[in-house]
Amino acid sequence: MTTDADTLNDLLEALAAGNKSVDVVRDTIARMIPPQTTSSAGGSIRVDVQRQDRCGYPEVIYAPGKTDEALQAAFQTLLEAGQNCLATRCSPEQGIFLKRAFPESSYDEQARTVRINKNDESNGRVVVVTAGTSDQPVALEALETLRWMNVEADLLMDVGVAGPQRFLDVKHELDNCDAVIVVAGMEGALPSVVGGWVSCPVIAVPTSVGYGAAFGGVAALLGMLNSCAANVAVVNIDAGFKAGYLAGMIARRKQGQ
């Protein structure tokens, strides 16, 4: 396995042989060193700018507990590295602050996300399906994550099993997609229904929507984990970001990126 030491040795040998310029070697070494940015509030946030090279996508910033200054510093570091930016679970105050600090950003109050896309490459297609309108905030978090990943993403709302004809009316819109995300609360039955109609992976997201015996999404989670549809996999309760990220990786792989 190639290590940073191996890479550095190769760079120095290329420099000595005249195959690389000093500027190229300097810039490459600079990218190998994760920067540290310190907020004016006295705390610090270390942004992993190498994650895109290792994992295919940049680091995502989880907003709760972070100061406005720390969020701004994280976005600035990512932008200076030429990378897309995404902050999740932003409070309204954090979202408004980032939107003002970066006017080019997209802030979705319902999804609680702020994102900036530096390129418009295409990485496949994913459809997000919700059982009800109450599941919309989690679905939108998945949708915004997919858009941050440059995946074409469509949203189909309110097609739960209480009215099965509603899904049948729109199931043709799942044709030719690389993955489907199904967001549902209550008993969490919709992913199994969708899984029986499509030939791609289905990522099920249980939500904390439901009455007392729904146990804050635990009932939906257990129902989805016990799905009899073989193409259904499950993420954590209300984990729209995780579902979007996994679906985006599947779509990118299928596109041969």
Domain count for the chain, please give it: 2
161 shares a domain with 95 = no
156 shares a domain with 244 = yes
- Give the model's pLDDT for residue 216: 92
Q: Which residues lie across from 180 on neighbouring strands?
A: 127, 202
Identify the H or E element spanning 152: strand 152-156
**Chosen domain end from 63, 96, 116:** 116
Torsion from C-alpha of 73, 143, 233, 50, nearest 10 degrees: -30
**Which structural domain range is residue 204 located in?**
125-254
pTM: 0.80
177 shares a domain with 250 = yes
Dihedrals φ, ψ of 208, to 5°? -85, 25
235 found inside a domain: yes
**Chosen domain end from 116, 137, 161:** 116
**Chosen domain end from 81, 116, 151:** 116
233 shares a domain with 147 = yes
143 found inside a domain: yes
3-state secondary structure of 103: coil
- b/e per residue 34-53 (b: at least 16 CB within 10 A): eeebebeeeeebebebbbbe
Contact present, 182 and 222 (Cβ < 8 Å): no
141 shares a domain with 47 = no
210 found inside a domain: yes
In the block, residue with structure tokens 């802030």: 107
153 shares a domain with 80 = no
- Give the model's pLDDT for residue 164: 84
245 shares a domain with 130 = yes
144 shares a domain with 81 = no
16 found inside a domain: no
Each residue's pLDDT tens digit in the chain (257 positions)? Answer: 445 677 888 888 888 888 888 888 877 877 776 554 443 334 567 888 889 888 889 999 999 999 999 999 999 999 998 899 999 999 999 999 999 999 999 999 999 999 999 877 788 999 999 988 999 999 999 999 999 999 999 999 999 888 888 888 898 999 989 999 999 999 889 999 999 999 999 999 999 998 988 999 999 999 999 999 999 999 999 999 999 999 999 998 877 65
213 shares a domain with 109 = no
